[in-house]
Structure 1
């Protein structure tokens, strides 16, 4: 299970990227109370651009988020302030944030740093 897989193709021949997505700090409640997800996304977005983190966030909201409170994860289609994003254990600010091009086998962690008081 820990092996990287080559990009596969879905039923219509679209190449896919396999990713490990993790949520913590309370964000898991928005995603069926599940902390870890193994997902596949298309290699390219609808405009034929390579898949980046911005595309991944939209994909997560449309396809993986079961909770209606999308605003706890995104604000104006961008990751909400107060959410730390790590790409392969590195702060996404070092990787280009939303513009980082997703690679097969990447692990992306979303951590809420916001706490009620």
Structure 2
């Protein structure tokens, strides 16, 4: 079974009931989106799946519309997601996606 790995750090895990790591079957990422029909699942699809199935509180601290909230770094396989295509990056089996909050109280 093809899976992707998702990790949360820097406080983002608090929004997911302190879960720091998830392994999600790739076929479970797609929702009722056009990208599922084309069999290409993207980070945008992953964000929707996280919102629907895993995000437990304060979604406004994680998401802004259909994308990630400013102040949260997204790293795909140790590379900034902006260099990989951002929300349109096509997920592949074995990918690791890490969400890291850069916002901290002081």
TM-score normalized with structure 1 length? 0.80
Greater relative contact order, per chain length (Cα 8 Å cut-off, separation 6+): 2
Between Structure 1 and Structure 2, the one with more helix by share is: 2
Q: Secondary structure at the match of 1:39?
A: strand
CA RMSD of aligned residues (A): 1.4
Structure with the greater alpha carbon radius of gyration: 1
For 1:31, which of 16, 19, 29 is the aligned residue? 16
Which blocks of at least 5 consecutive residues in structure 2 are unaligned?
none
Deviations 1:40-82 (A, max 9, x none): 2327552213110011011101011122x10010011210001
Q: How far apart, in 1, do the equivalents of 2:98 and 2:23 lie?
A: 12
Gaps of 5+ in 1: 1-7, 9-16
2:25 to 30, 37, 40: 40
1:103 matched to 2:92? The reply is yes
Is 2:45 the partner of 1:60?
no
TM-score (norm 2): 0.88
